[in-house]
Amino acid sequence: MKPQLDEGCRRWIPELSRDLPSEQWTSVYQTLEAGKRIRGCLVCLISEALGGKIEDAIPRAVAIECIQAASLIHDDYVDQDRIRRDRPATWTLEGPRRAVLLGDLIFATAIQKLMEMSREDGLVITQAIATMAKGVYQEPHNPSTLTHAISQGTYRPELYNDIIRLKTGALFGTASKLGAVAAQASGEEMRHAFEFGARLGEAYQLADDLHEVMRLGEQPDDVPTRMVGLAPVFLYFSPERISQLLPLLAGAENGDQEWIAHALPALTTRMRQEIQIRLELAIKEIKDFPNNPHTRLLRAAPLEVVRMQEHVLPQTPDQGGNQPVSWR
């Protein structure tokens, strides 16, 4: 499946590069050639589970991969991340202005291609981009603004849950829904497909954040800066330690390693429990899907996707009728 997606992405490069000088094609190609293709594979798996054809799913899968690639270009610049997939981030090579415009170009082309397929496809993808933008916009990037909100009691710990739902859950959910659209599924099947993908996306983001949290204890370099980026995680999963965390977010020069050592055991346990809950909720959404090899793959997929992150090895999700229980 991934080779088919890779080939589909390569076929889109001339479309994305139309009216661009040939020397600028390299940036487009490098942006789309890498990646795990998780979201694109999800489009295809959902479509085939619901009786669709792979050739109908591939164009939608490529569009989702384009949206993901464009969002990463923007994210890297906003977060000032200089490395992406062991390569220099696009903005470090192209400059901020051209990188942002390249992301815009990819977004716009993906929307155009899906609108040409159907009104439903276009509506689904535009809703996804709008939802993702709302999530990214709510991320706290200014340490002083964040510490002021915490000290004034106006910061909502639930913001973290909102962000992962809007930023990551929405795109995974959209990938699943586009798979259902490709299969010409019913409205109810589309709804369940979206919720399956959304819960999987939330679990994936939790696993990614857990990986970053554990790196704090293993790689002590530049911990204060990294702690600010992870502040929503700490504030959601370790609310009892907010008073000790506040000075560190405000720029205190010592104490971060001690705080990490005390907070990490409970924090990682709670995050793993939450990952488990999202995985189980995802699987419950597809319990009434047709019983075929593709659905069986879908049921196994959530755990395997999460296991792509180091240190994140939750138990096999419960596929029965038990209601998952939150640590909160």
pLDDT (tens digit, 9 = 90+) per residue, 58-71?
Answer: 999 999 999 999 99
CB-based contacts of 270: which residues, under 8 Å, 6+ apart? 237, 238, 327
Dist CA 85 CA 309 (whole Å): 14
Regions in the chain scoring below 50 on pLDDT: none
Q: Identify the pLDDT of residue 249.
A: 78
Three-state DSSP state, 216: helix
Residue 6 CA to residue 54 CA, distance in Å, equals 14
Q: Give the per-residue pLDDT at 315.
A: 55
Per-residue pLDDT, 256 = 75
Tokens of 50: 């619901």
What pLDDT is recorded for position 27?
74
pTM, rounded to two decimals: 0.90
Q: What is the pLDDT of residue 311?
A: 56
Q: What is the pLDDT of residue 187?
A: 97
Query: How far is CA 267 from its chain centroid?
Result: 21
Determine the topology of domain 2-306 in CATH: Farnesyl Diphosphate Synthase (1.10.600)
Output the pLDDT for position 63.
92
Give the Å distances, CA to CA, from 285 to 47, 85, 100, 197: 15, 32, 36, 9
Instruction: Identify the pLDDT of residue 35.
Output: 75
Nearest Cα to Cα of residue 298 among 164, 185, 200? 200
| Phi/psi of residue 222, nearest 5 degrees | 55, 35
pLDDT for 246 equals 82
Alpha-carbon span 291 to 317, nearest angstrom: 19
Check if the beta carbon of residue 110 is closer than 8 Å to that of residue 40. Answer: no
Predicted pLDDT at 245: 81
Residue 157 contacts residue 210 (beta carbons within 8 Å): no
